[in-house]
């Protein structure tokens, strides 16, 4: 089974973003700066922070309007759309062998299926949330009923 936690723990997202051209400064618990992905001019648009699980995450609040973990950053920065390519890049960057992570073609395919299902469910939840809290009279009726 593929275990990405050792890799995500080993990759310092601040260093990775700086390698991509970011000039970050520490502000409280976050690292902020201009987004290296779209070359914006807002000095605090790009943020790196720790999520509730203690994992580093990033978010661009202006041009990209994107965020995620090291895989998402790597995908956007390096243009790597395939999960296996992202995994190989980050493993090489962190000096971790794929075998240490439990990689196999089957494990990578299973992981990608899980990510796709999670993304689909997240999109569905956002859609229905928007419908429920919208200004449409039907939404108001549904909310009152709930």
Q: What is the mean pLDDT of each run of 10 residues along the chain (146 residues)?
A: 89 96 94 90 92 93 90 94 91 93 83 84 87 80 79
Q: What is the pTM of this model?
A: 0.76
State how far the Cα of 95 lies from the Cα of 145, in Å rounded to an integer. 55
Residue 104 has a pLDDT of 82
Where would I find the H helices in the chain? 5-10, 13-19, 70-78, 83-94, 105-132, 137-145
The DSSP 8-state label assigned to residue 54 in this structure reads S
Name which of 106, 95, 117, 86 is nearest 1 in CA terms: 106
Structure tokens at 54: 């203690």
Strand order in the sheet with 67-68: 25-27, 30-33, 46-50, 56-60, 67-68
Tens of pLDDT, residue by residue over 88-100, are 999 999 999 988 8
Closest CA to 22 of 1, 40, 3: 40
Burial of 123 (0-12, 13-18, 19+ CB in 10 A): exposed
């Amino acid at each position: 089974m593929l275990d990405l936690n050792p890799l995500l723990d080993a990759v310092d997202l601040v260093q990775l973003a700086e390698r991509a051209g970011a000039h970050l400064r520490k502000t409280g618990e976050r690292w902020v700066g201009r987004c290296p992905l779209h070359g914006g001019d807002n000095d605090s648009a790009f943020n790196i922070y720790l999520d509730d699980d203690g994992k580093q995450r990033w978010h661009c609040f202006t041009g990209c309007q994107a965020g995620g973990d090291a895989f998402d950053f790597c995908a956007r920065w390096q243009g790597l759309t395939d999960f296996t390519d992202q995994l190989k890049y980050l493993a090489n960057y962190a000096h971790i062998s794929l075998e240490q992570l439990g990689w196999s073609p089957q494990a990578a395919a299973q992981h990608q299926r899980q990510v796709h299902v999670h993304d689909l469910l997240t999109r569905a939840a956002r859609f229905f949330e928007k419908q429920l809290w919208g200004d449409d009279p039907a939404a108001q009726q549904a909310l009152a009923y709930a």
